[in-house]
Amino acid sequence: MLLSIDHVTTYRYDSPARGVVQSHRLTPSRFEGQRVLAWEVSVTGGVEGGSFRDGAGDWVQGWSVKGPVEEIEVRVRGQIETFDTSGMLKGHREMVPPEAYLRDTPATEADEALRLLAESARHDEPLSYAHALAFAVAGAIAYRPGVTDAHTTAAEALAAGEGVCQDHAHALIACARVAGFPARYVSGYLFADAEGTPHEAAHAWAELFVPGYGWIGFDPANRCCPDQRYVRLGSGLDAREAAPIRGTARGAGAEHLKVAVSVQPPEAVKSTASQSVATQSQAQ
Amino acid sequence: MGGYFNEMYDGKSVRAPYARLSDWMASMPADRRLEKQAEAEALFRRIGITFAVYGEGGDPDRLIPFDMFPRVFTGAEWSKLERGIKQRARALNAFLVDVYGRAEIVRAGRIPANLVFQNEAYERAVCGFVPPKGVYSHIVGVDIVRTGPTDFHVLEDNCRTPSGVSYMLESREMMMRMFPELFRENRIEPVDRYPEALRRTLASVAPAKCDREPTVVILTPGHFNSAYYEHSFLADLMGVELVEGADLFVEGGFVWMRTTEGPKRVDVIYRRIDDAFIDPLCFRPDSMLGVPGLMDVYRSGGVTICSAPGAGVADDKAIYTYVPEMVRFYLGEEPIIPNVQTWKCGEKDDLGHVLANLPDLVVKEVHGSGGYGMLVGPKSTKAQIEEFRELIKADPSNYIAQPTLALSTTPTFVEEGIAPRHVDLRPYCLVGERIELVPGGLTRVALRDGSLVVNSSQGGGVKDTWVLAE
């Protein structure tokens, strides 16, 4: 399917920053499930830095903005054609060995409850086990925005029994690693159509390395594997590592972040405004 | 000290390298010795060389004792050591390029995948990247112990930022100042070309984008760091800038240094900061020591970082046991200097052997350093051994064990006069376009009678290390 993306992230600083440096993973991955038709990332007042494809296959682009700066807008606009590969990451070139994704991070460390959840889904056949893990996580954590935040760990989300796509992905990664599957966090976009569940257009899910198949995506939040509604950007051990934008502002006061993402078929773009808007503030 | 190899004496006769030192020794009555010792200490204090050797902890402002009795190698002894150390440095670098590339050594089943890829020090951020000239570890500090006239063993490798080289240089400086006659009577290979060799090594790995004489800097965590003296000392001798993270910034795909004449492009960064702290965007977000965006510039070829991020996976104690295998796999040679036999408690058979022989073994934590968290079986009480037995049983894979080595001794000035004390050796091998080893190194000496632990935090001192010209 054809999708138009318009993703605007605005950073506003209470007192002007002396300089901002960012590292972006905002370019779609290269694999059989998607083909970029047009793609552009812009940063107001930004100077392009070094760019490269990293070992995980992600395109990384550095940026810097000279101070004083009160507000920065990072805008991603593009058109992409997507295909359903049943969640499989086919034709994706990467250098990082799957075993490197067996390592835990604080956000994905398994506690006893996560270990029990992983055990409860056990199947002898790896692919069935992977699916069962995703369903177990979906059943154990109900979708509910506003309960958890960016720093909530997998264990905390499971204890709360509620969370958003980041929590689902973290919990699935934790369970998968317990079960011996290399697992990673994937950030991207989701086209949620009229009948779709109310999930954010800026989305996240998990990939598990299943013997005999390779990397396969699982989205517990939507109880499915990524299909043509999904656009894959980048990956990491957890949400922080896979963040589409990482940055620092030197000498800035409190930072206010505003994100607006629209993922639509091209014909719908003209009639629809931003599909989802989220705001958050954080002190730096 | 029966059973230990004394580097000066063979029975009653003096071994060749020390021949000219016995007269000197005889010419040092107690009062002259004390006077000289006081002079040396005053000199060290004045220049402020008081830091601890890498990762050893302890009081950073404490003066490390300097022993005036030099440790001496013949040219022939050194030439074998030199070949062995260079061989090891080559194999370690080949391993690093390999495990961040196709990992042939793992595919070939010569080293277990989990030891490499699940290692804390394995850095996914550099997978697929080959640094300039294929070098990850530009300064390889190889810790060597001697147990006999021709028996040397590698105790551990230091591939990140081994420190202590300033002691090699300062100890020599000190000896030349206090005993100039010794340097007339003996033909001693100089070590003072080390700073220039280091500078040349660093410049030789400038990125391809650098089209002029490369600008090299040393990146230090700051003056509160225990090795700050060494950072500023080396910067001085090399004639390069000593900078902190806040002095650098990235823009347009390059790294720049703030100077009074405006920004100056930096091509090579000799960093004395751990991987985790060099770039808050890539590694620890709370780090204030690094340079935001540095890794993006590095990966896109705008700057070279020495040692390369990720180099630490080669000097892990669990990986150590496989270094001889690396030498065979990459170089097709047999190791010239062997490892110390090592049992991995994480392996069932090895664990059985270790638990059955604890009183005879040295047990170390896999990730530990500085002589802490280790058991020296023969020097421990029954209670200490039993305590360690429980620690090992609780987490076997966290421990390795080695035989208690009969470390060689050299004569050392002690309160009672001159007595043999155990020593080890850390030479500093430079790897860039070419591979270089200055003849000498840091000799650490266990000053306590009978002690086998040379770490400065455990009562160790340093000596000047001589290599005689043939």
CB B368 within 8 A of CB B320: no
Residues A103 and A237 in one domain: yes
Residue A255, domain extent: 2-82+243-282
Tell me the chain B residues in contact with residue A60 when contact means C-beta distances shorter than 8 Å: 296, 299
Which of B291, B268, B269 shows the shortest CA–CA distance to B278?
Answer: B291
The count of domains in chain A is 2
Q: Is residue A93 part of a domain?
A: no
Residues A136 and A45 in one domain: no
Residues within 8 A of B (CB atoms), A 80-139 only:
94-97, 99-100, 102-103
> Given the structure tokens 């632990």, which residue do they identify?
B453
Q: Is residue B272 part of a domain?
A: no
R_g over Cα of chain A: 19
Q: Is residue B381 part of a domain?
A: yes
pLDDT for A279 beyond 60: no
Torsion of CA A23, A24, A30, A32, to 10 degrees: 140
Query: How much is the pTM?
Result: 0.92
Q: Is residue A92 part of a domain?
A: no
**Which residues in B have their CB inside 8 Å of a CB on A?**
100-101, 103, 106, 113-114, 117-118, 120, 122, 124-129, 249-253, 280-282, 285, 292-293, 295-297, 299-302
Tens digits of residue pLDDT in B132-149 = 999 999 999 999 999 999
Contact B127 A54 (CB under 8 A): yes
Q: Is residue A136 part of a domain?
A: yes
Q: Is residue A154 part of a domain?
A: yes
HEC-encoded secondary structure of B207-229: CCCCCCCCCEEEECCCCCCCCHH
Residues A15 and A47 in one domain: yes
Q: How far apart are CA A84 and CA A53, in angstroms?
A: 24
Please name every residue paired with A235 in a beta bridge, in sequence order, or none if there are none. A186
pLDDT mean across residues, chain B: 91
Residues A132 and A210 in one domain: yes
Q: Is residue B332 part of a domain?
A: no
Q: Is residue B25 part of a domain?
A: no
CB B62 within 8 A of CB B5: no
Residues A70 and A195 in one domain: no
Count of all residues that appear for chain A in the document:
284
Tens digits of residue pLDDT in B290-319 = 999 999 999 999 999 999 999 999 998 889
Q: How far apart are CA B103 and CA B116, in angstroms?
A: 10
Q: How far apart are CA A220 and CA A206, in angstroms?
A: 8
Tens digits of residue pLDDT in B404-435 = 888 999 999 988 888 999 999 999 999 999 99
CATH code, domain carrying B379:
3.30.1490.270
Half-sphere exposure of B27 (CA within 13 A, CB side): 9
Q: How far apart are CA B257 and CA B250, in angstroms?
A: 9
Residues within 8 A of B (CB atoms), A 2-41 only:
19, 21-23
Tens digits of residue pLDDT in B336-362 = 999 999 999 988 999 999 999 999 999
Q: Is residue B106 part of a domain?
A: no
Residues A163 and A66 in one domain: no
Q: Is residue A90 part of a domain?
A: no
Residues A212 and A189 in one domain: yes
Residue bearing the bigger pLDDT, B77 or B459: B77
Contact B106 A23 (CB under 8 A): no
The count of domains in chain B is 1
Residues A104 and A223 in one domain: yes
Q: Quick one: pLDDT at residue B426?
A: 96
CB B193 within 8 A of CB B438: yes
Q: Is residue A248 part of a domain?
A: yes
CATH code, domain carrying A114:
3.10.620.30
Residues A51 and A147 in one domain: no
Which band of pLDDT confidence, cut at 50, 70 and 90, is reported for residue B55? Answer: very low
Residue B354, domain extent: 343-403
Q: Is residue A228 part of a domain?
A: yes
Tens digits of residue pLDDT in A46-91 = 999 999 999 999 999 999 999 899 999 999 999 999 999 999 999 9
**Given CB atoms, is A75 within the 8 Å cutoff of chain B?**
no
Q: Is residue B373 part of a domain?
A: yes
Which band of pLDDT confidence, cut at 50, 70 and 90, is reported for residue A267? Answer: confident
Which of B456, B468, B435 shows the shortest CA–CA distance to B134?
Answer: B435
Kindly state the average pLDDT of the residues B186-192.
95
Residues A222 and A102 in one domain: yes
CATH code, domain carrying A26:
2.60.40.2250
Residues A172 and A222 in one domain: yes
Q: Is residue B382 part of a domain?
A: yes
Tell me the chain B residues in contact with residue A61 when contact means C-beta distances shorter than 8 Å: 296
Residues A108 and A181 in one domain: yes
Q: Is residue B331 part of a domain?
A: no
